[in-house]
Amino acid sequence: MKISRTKFVILFVVSAFVFQFISNSLLGPEVRLFPGNGQSYLATESPMTWKSTVSTILLPIKIVLIAPLSYLFELPDPPPPLLVLAFALYWTALALVLYYLLSKIGTRKKHDF
């Protein structure tokens, strides 16, 4: 890969936060980074067809990005930095694994020719 590991991780984490904010803002009832208590973080059951369709399309991405730490949404009143830090750490680990796998694929392709 031609991008450094640090730059890739920072880009991944920032992109994940932006994706989360935009998807929750467009598909949810209010503008939020994370869903409120009692709200589903996966699919939106909306009477509007386009919201329901977009929510269904984004469901696999949200499962990978959010589902492993979904228990944090069930806490009575978690402090906001806790959610942001927990997801940043999880997404950093996810980005490092993804970077490793992509670098292995790139190395393997170079040696095959």
Over residues 70-112, the pLDDT tens digits come to 777 777 777 778 888 988 999 999 999 999 999 888 766 665 5
Each domain of the chain, given as residue ranges in start order, spans: 5-112
Task: State the chain's mean pLDDT as an integer.
Answer: 80
Q: Say whether pLDDT at 20 is over 60.
A: yes
pTM for the model = 0.77
Query: Among 87, 96, 91, which Cα is nearest to 69's?
Result: 87
